[in-house]
Amino acid sequence: MAGQVGERAPEFRLPSTLGHPLALSEILAERVAVLAFFHFAFTSG
C-alpha cells in the first residue's frame, strides 16, 4: 500500500502517547498534519 508524494493519507486511528485513540480526521479538524515514515527507524537492523 504505497502512497505517492502529495497524496492524501487514508483515515486511520492509533493510540496517542497518552494511550487514547486518536484519528487522523480529528487532527485535521484542528490543524494541518505532516506524516513522515522512517524505514527501520526503531529496529536494530
Q: How confident is the model at residue 28 (pLDDT cuts 50, 70, 90)?
A: very high
State the residue for C-alpha cell 484519528.
23
- Residue 20's identity, in one-letter code, is H
Confidence (pLDDT) at 45: 62
pTM score? 0.63
Non-local (6+) Cβ contacts of 33 within 8 A are 24, 27
Beta strands in 1-45, from DSSP E residues, in sequence order: 13-15, 21-23
* Residue 21, pLDDT score: 95
Give the integer Cα–Cα distance in Å for 20 and 26: 12
pLDDT at 39 over 80: no
pLDDT above 80 (res 41): no
